[in-house]
Amino acid sequence: MAPVNCTNGAMVGCVAVLSLSLATLSYFLFNQQRIFKHPKSKTQNLNCTKKYGSGIVGAIGNTPLIRINSLSDATGCEILGKAEFLNPGGSVKDRIAVKIIEEALASGQLAPGGVVTEGSAGSTAISLATVAPAYGCKCHVVIPDDVAIEKVCFGLLHQSLNLLFFENFYAVLFWSLTIPRPLQNKQSQIIEALGATVERVRPVSITHRDHFVNVARRRASEANEQAAKYGKNSETPNRTQEQTNGEIFKEQKKNYTFSRDCTGGFFADQFENLANFRAHCEGTGPEIWEQTEGKLHAFVAAAGTGGTLAGVSHFLKEKNDKIKCFLIDPPGSGLFNRVTRGVMYSKEEAEGKRLKNPFDTIIEGIGINRLTHNFMKARLDGAFRGTDKEAVEMSRFLLKNDGIFLGSSSAMNCVGAVRVAQALGPGHTIVTILCDNGMRHLSRFYKAEYLSELGLTPSASGLEFLGLL
């Protein structure tokens, strides 16, 4: 009998073993990139051999840096986006939530059992509600009642589904688009079920005592006063006066009384608290530097609180002062004028002199008409002005050509990346921030009727809205 030829079979086997080995090695290296930290630990163990994160906090940060193929090919530059929407809470704000709470606990301004309050029209509220329980704290957020409903209900729903659909992101998108609106509205109870309280107030000027930020500051003071009143010898909390199973009783709805076992309150103050800046100077910036191996030419991002732009630009400039850092600013914001002209706005446009104009911009979470402590830490080389139309067109272009589903501020950041590429010319590497995904913007930024009323219906077939054919 002739011998059996095993050459092909052996080759296939070798290839299979090699492929499995490479896959195992890739998985190992990917996990080794993360530095996990327990919420209560004060130091990071760089030699940790664990292959898993420590709770929800361990999954925050070390987000991928992805090449945005369509924009890179169109500009001749390498345009890279830091995929912050892959954080557990669905946005870049997870980073500052962790940093703010950890610093407050370390300083004694917050204790386990306390309540973190914040006034947030964007994703910070969701991030604080996501992170606070990991530190044994509760969360109370105050938002203006004109913010998109997805910011309240769907963001934390994303957290619950993120692990299930991590490998199939658009399954979540399909769910969000097909679920009946009444049920979607009902999911707003998720925030309360997770231990957070949502308080809606009317939108007013920042100088008004009932501005959502000022209300949040007041709630923290009320929690401290209540904790001081009852002290350590307080009786068992009255179940009719505390938040239970996500429901707020009528007495609490009126004055937002905190439970008697509350150990006090802490106002997160994301705009002025420099923990925001430090979160990005110590986290996001170093990650970008490592992921690009220091081979980048520019960074661009919009600013709301200014923490991301300031923290990243400060770190990158410290590593290499030749790296150019830019602001992209939406309509209605005065930061562009501040960076380019040194004058932020006229007296008539100051936030204390006028009410918010809802038609300044449809972009949520960025743009401001005052200087925050965080923004003043930014080290910038210039600024660009973006428009609502450009952001809308960019979001649809990226969804169609790259399959990337971005929120409004992320789309504006990508507009900024193209503007920087046009200014610097081909051959440069440019990094921006993909702050969150589009699921939190369905009722406005992705709603055809709403855009049509404002004359913002997308119509571009390519990047002609930015002068690229």
Q: Where are the domains of the chain?
A: 56-87+284-466, 111-156+181-231+258-263
pLDDT of 157 higher than 70: no
**pLDDT tens digit sequence for 366-386:** 999 889 999 999 999 999 999
Domain 111-156+181-231+258-263, classified CATH 3.40.50.1100, yes or no = yes
Cα 67 to Cα 80: distance, rounded to the nearest angstrom: 4
CA distance 420 to 76: 12
Residues paired with 198 in a beta bridge: 141
Kindly report, residue by residue over 381-414, the tens digit of the pLDDT.
999 999 999 999 999 999 999 999 999 999 999 9
Residue 248 has pLDDT above 80, yes or no: no
Taking alpha carbons only, the member of 211, 220, 268, 212 closest to residue 93 is 268
Mean pLDDT, range 331-357, rounded to an integer = 72
Q: What is the mean pLDDT of residues 36-58?
A: 57
Whether 56-87+284-466 shares its CATH topology with 111-156+181-231+258-263 is answered yes
Q: Quick one: average pLDDT of 5-31?
A: 44
In this structure, of 53-57, 164-168, 257-261, 294-298, the range with the lowest mean pLDDT score is: 164-168
What's the rounded mean pLDDT across residues 204-231? 90
CATH fold of 56-87+284-466 reads Rossmann fold (3.40.50)
How many helices and strands, by DSSP H and E, does the chain display? 17, 10
Nearest CA-CA partner of 144 in 221, 202, 77: 202
Please tell me the predicted confidence (pLDDT) of residue 121: 61
**Residue 221: predicted pLDDT:** 95
The pLDDT assigned to 69 comes to 98
First to last CA, the chain: 68
- From CA 84, how far away is CA 452, in angstroms rounded? 30
- pTM value surpassing 0.75: yes
Within 13 Å of residue 119, how many CA atoms lie on the same side as its CB?
24
Letter string b/e over residues 325-349, b meaning 16 or more CB atoms within 10 A of that residue's CB: bbbbbbbbbbbbbbbeeeebbeeee
